[in-house]
Amino acid sequence: MKLIKLLKGDTSFLSNIITHFSGRFIFIISKFLSIIVIARVLGPKQFAYFTLLNISIYFVSSFGTIGISQSAIYYFSRKLHTRSLVTLSIFQSVGLGGLLATILFVIMSYWVDMFSDPSSTIKILTVIEVPFFIMGNIIDGMLIGENRFLVLAFRNSLRWTLNLISLLGLCCMALLTLETALAINLITTILGVVLFAKILLNEHPPLLKMNYKFFMECYLFGLKMYLMDMFFLLALRFDYYCAKSYDTILNLGYYALITNINEVMLQLPRGVYNIIFPRVPDSQERTSILTAFTCRICFSGIWCWYLVMLLGGPIIIKIVGGVQYASAYEILIIQYPFVPFMCVAIIISGFIAGLNQTNLLLKSNLVTLIFMIASNFLLTPNFGVYGAAVSKNLSSAFYVFIMLFFLRKITNWGFLDIFFIKKQDLGRLGEIKNRIWVWVKATYSS
């Protein structure tokens, strides 16, 4: 009953959960429907390129963030150096973001085997998004640090709702192509960044005087988080680039659809990560108990969803992509197990980051990265996308176990505390539901 006592005295956790996930629900639905529209209209081959280009934007932008989005959570949650951090964010997005956009343009121009010699329009639409993507990530970090989950939810929901409406409009006019889909992504990204950057600039006007001491402090923390993020990103995306090198573009299209479907489930733990990270310094014991409980519920619940995928996978695939993606069912069944393990890894990493144990995360990610690269090069050349899917599963499971191994000195968690739902957890869920309902009624009645 310790968990319930903690929640009774901590309504902020429940309120943040409700606010954040109500907004993320709209964001997830809008993003998923956008994927459906693009996948059905473009077909497997063009959808494979669309996914490759978006992964490249995300990957290159991560180099430009250098962990500053995590530093934003850390410092904004403590109300320290906020105006200096805004100044740093602007310079970084414009300067480093512009440089990385240029580098990506050159890579796309000369790496013909990977990008299949895209047109100038496609290259321009892709690279322009990089600086805005960087700034958007940092803005999200600032909002999370200030516990402004309603604003954060509105930002993400607004962007993808506009994206969906625009895609549907182009689809009705038979104008939806790879180029126009990329253009819609770019426009909605810019709108989402400009609107909320203006809000933050009004509240935290940038300092004209450069605070170099803070910048070094910020980068020192951010660099550790950056390396952790890059290892994590490689573990999540390396399989796609590897599959592109060793399999056909048609199979890659199937793989892209399944990856997009499965990664929708990762939005749940990402939301929990955002709530847990800024809480740890103020309530480590409470957050430790909540983190373990959330991992158990999430891991067990997502494995139950796997049964739905086994039975209804062909129908789900036809709804999302149409009959042209029917062959993707086997990939779905093979790849899905990575989801529950990766969900647990994301939630635990939020707790570790809040403890400022970045060295632990670096070790976990580095060891996992080596394991992931080795398994990909062992399996993908021989089995194509199927080998990439198996490697993804093995790497995600290995990631969780190695993280728990390093955590054993900091927490008293055991494998049973993280992976397997306990009998008393079912009763706790009922009590938590009642507490949430009471909080909702009290909030809206007032």
3-state SS, residue 147:
coil
Q: Supply the range of the domain harboring residue 238.
A: 2-445
Q: Over the stretch 267-306, which tens digit does the pLDDT of each residue have?
A: 777 777 766 666 655 566 667 777 787 888 888 888 888 8
More confident residue, 43 or 356: 43
Q: What is the mean pLDDT of residues 213-222?
A: 70
3-state SS, residue 302:
helix
Report the alpha-carbon distance of residue 233 to residue 63 in Å, rounded: 11
Residue 92 DSSP label:
I
Q: Identify the band that residue 9 occupies on the pLDDT scale cut at 50, 70 and 90.
A: very low
> Can you read off the two tokens belonging to residue 6?
């903690």
The pLDDT, as a whole number, for residue 227 is: 64
Tokens 């990089």 belong to 130
CA dihedral defined by 93, 99, 104, 107, rounded to 10 degrees? -170
Query: Are residues 399 and 342 in contact, defined by beta-carbon separation less than 8 angstroms?
Result: yes
Number of domains into which the chain is organized:
1
Q: Where are the alpha helices (DSSP H) in 322-357?
A: 329-335, 338-354
Residue 117, amino acid? D
Q: Where are the alpha helices (DSSP H) in 248-337?
A: 249-264, 267-276, 284-321, 329-335
Q: Which of 56-65, 216-225, 372-381 has the highest mean pLDDT?
A: 372-381
Q: Where are the alpha helices (DSSP H) in 146-266?
A: 149-172, 178-203, 212-246, 249-264
Report the alpha-carbon distance of residue 320 to residue 344 in Å, rounded: 26
> Can you read off the two tokens belonging to residue 423?
């009998």
Query: Are residues 399 and 364 in contact, defined by beta-carbon separation less than 8 angstroms?
Result: yes
